[in-house]
Amino acid sequence: MSYFLSFCKSHRGLVFTQFQMLRSQGQLCDVSLVVDGHEFPAHKSLLACSSDYFRAMFKEYTKESKAAVVHLNVISVTGLENILDFIYTSWLSLSMYSLEDTLEAACYLQVMDAILLCSQFLINNCDLENCCFAANIATKFYLLDAIVSTEKYIINNLWILLQEDREEMELLELNMKSMMTLVKSDDIPKVHEKSLLNLILKWLQYDRTRLLNAKFLFENVRFGLLPLDTLRQLYTQSEVPLTASIKNLIIKALNYHSCPTKQPILQEKYSTLRNQKEWIVLVGGDANGELVENVLGFDVYNHKWRMVTNLKQKVQLHCICVIGNFLYVLGGETPENISEHTKEIALCVTNVVYRYDPRFDQWIQVASMLEKRAQFSCCVVDNYIYSMGGRGIEQAILSSVEVYDVSRNTWTKSKDLPYKVHGQASTVHKNLIYISGGKFTGQVNSSKDVYSFNKLEGQWKKQAPMTIARFGHQMATVNDDIFTFLGIYEPFSDIEKYDPLHNQWTRLRPMSFDRFCYGLVVVEQTVLMLGGKKWQDAQEVPTQNIVGYDAENDCWEEICSLAFPFSGLRCAVLKMSDAIQPEEREYISCPQIKLC
């Protein structure tokens, strides 16, 4: 004998439809639920199947199991009506106006599917008009997914909410948990720390009972990002009481501002930008024969440009470095007026050092180098800046080395190079400085020599020479290897890799993009070359493309193009926020985009 199991898709829906019809006609209803004098006839069996609360209520040993009327005193009429409709039809009527009542009923009656629908409704309908209300509802009923989603929405759109007085009033009604999440966030776009502090102060004063939470909020304020006058006003104000620990944080920030030259080595969470992203900054050099004053930023991930700042003085043949996310611009050649009568301009070698702070978009001049230098090299070891060799006054070639102590804002002499040299390149590998190539005094040809310097030993040590003599080239450290790239007057495009462990050089695949006077920077194990010049028909021709070198696979790929020919620049990676300068910053997409 054969048996078959058949399934009817429509039967389940038909049963629900019939139950709803019976309820609307009052037939076979064996219980009436009463809320605030409103009576709702229902069927115990269906209620028990849909709600853990009713299943427990209608068990055989309870008095409600035999009662014809059950009073529910903690549920609103609207909430119960919506949940009963859902139990009988699977449809839940939702709006921001009735959501709290519906959720209250769903949670009390333990109708889990309805709670999930309410949570998803909050996530899908969160906008500028209701995001704070949505976060409050999600927190009140502990809807985890909705809490995460609404708080993320508020954080991402806080800069808009703070521009609207009406929206700010909604922010003042935000619950404590969400406010804490907001203040602790590392990723708040387009909002100054001062604006965030003002919101905290208003939020605390909006409901004085919140003052008990002031300490927890202030502990997450980044006081190092606040201007001096704001810190002083906060310390002396009386509207919001400050604990001793918070006052100590403010005093620490005041001390931070009082020692501007030490700031790079005083970095911690309280002076770290929120929503900071890595940008490649392009500093100095020339475009179309004119020295460039603007410092540009390039977002290598999104291929966008931004204007960062202006140099304090135009410069070329300079060096740059970064300590504690502060940019230093050292030496080089700058234009100076050498004749008041003819207004004649000449390029003069300088020893001036400027430092840029992306937190406040500010430049300061720090201690000048002991010697004026151009076409030199610099490195950072243990937060000390080493300036080496180069060309000084009246074209004199230098062998001197000097060290900048950030904590003291002073330059001191270090062990001289083994020879006078300019146009050399340098890099750091495991706290050892490596220099290569360049030209010696009186020599026309470039050098292959390589030296290393150990700070602890204070001596220069000769290493295996490069296979190619180079001048005006660049070096980069990637993982455990050191690479040398193209220089000036090189009739080839070969690059080399140096293994410090075995003191050995390896010639790598030539690159197809010949160039010199380019910018170079390392971003996540990829070496980027930006702009520069190349030789074509015995002439220097500017290049605009940005190319990337994959050190692991020894291959090159074009990424995109600069907006204009740019050469003689120096590049570094700087972390910046989009809240540094007031709104409306123009971003420019790159042409010829390719992914490296």
Question: Tens of pLDDT along 91-144?
Answer: 888 999 999 999 999 998 898 999 999 999 999 999 999 999 999 999 999 999
Mean pLDDT over the full length of the chain? 88
What per-residue confidence (pLDDT) applies to 259?
A: 93
What per-residue confidence (pLDDT) applies to 11?
A: 52
Q: What distances in angstroms separate CA 595 from CA 297, 300, 302, 344, 526, one per listed residue?
A: 18, 10, 10, 46, 12
Given a cut of 60, whether residue 596 has pLDDT beyond it is: no
Domains of the chain, each with CATH number or no CATH: 192-258 (no CATH), 277-589 (2.120.10.80)
| Cβ-based neighbours of 439, under 8 Å, separated by 6 or more | 397, 421, 422, 423, 445, 446, 447, 471
Cβ atoms of residues 443 and 427 within 8 Å: no
What per-residue confidence (pLDDT) applies to 443?
A: 75
Lowest mean pLDDT among 65-74, 105-114, 353-362, 502-511: 65-74
Using CA atoms, how far apart are residues 245 and 264, in angstroms rounded to an integer? 24
Higher confidence at residue 392 or residue 17?
392
What per-residue confidence (pLDDT) applies to 387?
A: 98
The tens digit of pLDDT for each residue in 204-249 reads 999 999 999 899 999 999 999 999 999 999 999 989 999 999 999 9
pTM for this model (two decimals): 0.87
Q: Of 228, 324, 232, whose CA–CA distance to 272 is shortest?
A: 324
Confidence of residue 409 (pLDDT cuts 50, 70, 90): very high
Residue whose entry in the numeric block shows the structure tokens 């605030």: 36
What per-residue confidence (pLDDT) applies to 190?
A: 92
The tens digit of pLDDT for each residue in 1-10 reads 677 776 556 5
What per-residue confidence (pLDDT) applies to 268?
A: 93
Consecutive H or E run containing 298: strand 294-299
What per-residue confidence (pLDDT) applies to 205?
A: 93
**pLDDT mean over 309-327:** 95
The tens digit of pLDDT for each residue in 509-543 reads 888 777 889 999 999 889 999 999 888 777 888 88
Q: Of 432, 516, 418, whose CA–CA distance to 470 is shortest?
A: 516
Kindly report the backbone phi and psi dihedral angles of residue 282, in degrees, each rounded to the nearest multiple of 5, phi listed first. Answer: -110, 115
